[in-house]
Structure 1
């Protein structure tokens, strides 16, 4: 194997980037004034940069020594009309004559309408549903079993030798002896009063005066109505179809995961306490009562901070962390409560601003969102030609000023607590 030495051509070099091609080597003479004699320190470099910036041109067109021609835009003054953009980007559900709706807290990308809803299901191929009743049968049985009862034989008969057979045939009646049973009265159609039970523990019953929301048939249509409950009917009954039979998930693994991740204790069933009647007081009176309580208490009680824990329900702890559940396409299961609150507050502020504006100005902004030109606004009010453009510009400016003032008043009205603090 013979090695040959590469031929060196004077004034040429082989380029590594161009596959070894011979390229002409350029000769460059270095100006002695531009030669770098030593490396500058950072402080010297900043000083040189500051000196250059003081003498440098402010705009690029000044470098070439020509003056740029500026022309005023035709509608430059209209660029300051922020009301038009705000009205176009108004919150969802806010419009003239349209009631506002709260945003849906939970989103889903699953279809809720079956594709074959117009075809009857075949017999024997339907889904069995687990129907739950509230209050449940276990709860009713528990409330009845825990009652303290007193027993008495009726009717009352003298205990004599002649009444031995009658005494043995008497019936024993159980009468509740605790305050868990409450009685009421109702009047029948004949005007006669009757005593009836209206509460047993947590179970409530009707005395003929209560009504509940239900459905009834009116002119072959099902409508909602307030239906009067008959005497003795249990109040607050609900029927719900919770799930398919056999479709209940085992939440043991997920519950253990969330208990390990959150490091919180599990809650037991809270004790039921008798509710006290609430007294309505103003905010100023409540603050004064709190200040008096602090003044009359020389030593404040010790504040005990309890450990973090899960609520008593639901039993499936995964339902408490909706944001951690992912949808079909990676969407989160719920919006953050801050986003819902902010959207609701913005919608209420925008609604107050629209209520404070003149109807004519609201109409101008509504038409300006979809109008093609200022002339179109003026033509709708009877102007023609150049007068229509001037009239449209004048109307739009007036509506913009009115909208800005209305928004300031609405934002001022939405912050009463801040105003109270500023006054103090």
Structure 2
């Protein structure tokens, strides 16, 4: 859609002096509207003809700066093209925040809203494009309902994505999962109309540090035989949000040409209900030989991740990062804004938290508390995949996953929501990126470009 209107947006910190370019009429207009630069304030400035000539936008106190605060302006402005002017702590993030604040998922609507960024002085335009593309990829995939993004369609999307980046991609589908020893992925997805599968693609030089990304790709989760109540099932199209964010992170890594050998593993399933659905109380084999007692079929994500993590671990990579919309317990602990972060590498975890805070992608480190490992005991199998009580659900899920990582130099798990239930700066209501910007910035700092 073409955009005909073009305006300047003067972005001011709270109580900052008004731009000198304002005339007396505009200054009086701003004063009449009590504009003080508070976070999210937006005032249209009248021109000589009475039409809007520009805007003032408040960014709040500079000492409490949100890197994506400009996203609030994009969400409030009418259709048009805008040049942002002001004193930004990080112009690149300010530009990315504005563009992501204008995000509009219009796949199923014919009335998109177009708000474009014309310019922001000092922003690295290539980096802005990379960050926006990574986040948009995650949002677009996660917003799609399961009837539009089933396992077969998702495989095609992943294949097309990998090929666009020159990555080598393979898949293991249906009963071939049993033949090639991925019994947990098969068990979770076998009741669905479309077969379960594992997508695997690699990119980069074999001699470079091995970074492996694993994403939970449950395109829809009924809960299985432990069926969810209707309200809990309503947003289960987002249960593949971990894998969507992994794909966004992979896009950033490959577009930036980081010096890594990248591998991406995405188990893609639908947790459905049929005569052959796996049951509570079943004992299932896993890829690494451990037997798993099923405590609840609605805790399926950790099962598909277990087999994928085992595969990732076999080549002893330098780093494994997985992302998953794994537990409601994480949301109880840290809410929707924060991703719950677990890691066997405290230094890496601290870097991720710091980069997340700096890039409007907040994470909160949670403990891999060994004392809770006994909560996963089973009397008839090597492990139960859920804990024996209502406490520490996100921690025990992470402890379960840790059992499948033995050889990697470091392993990091992000238990994310991948959804914004309330609008935030740069994040409209709906599917959102979590963890990918923080991880990309850490990887970029560690490995740099080729």
- If the length of structure 1 is used for normalisation, what is the TM-score? 0.20
Structure index of larger Rg: 1
- Per chain length, whose mean CA-contact separation is higher, i.e. which structure has more relative contact order (CA < 8 Å, sep 6+)? 2
- Which of the two has greater strand per residue? 2
- If the length of structure 2 is used for normalisation, what is the TM-score? 0.19
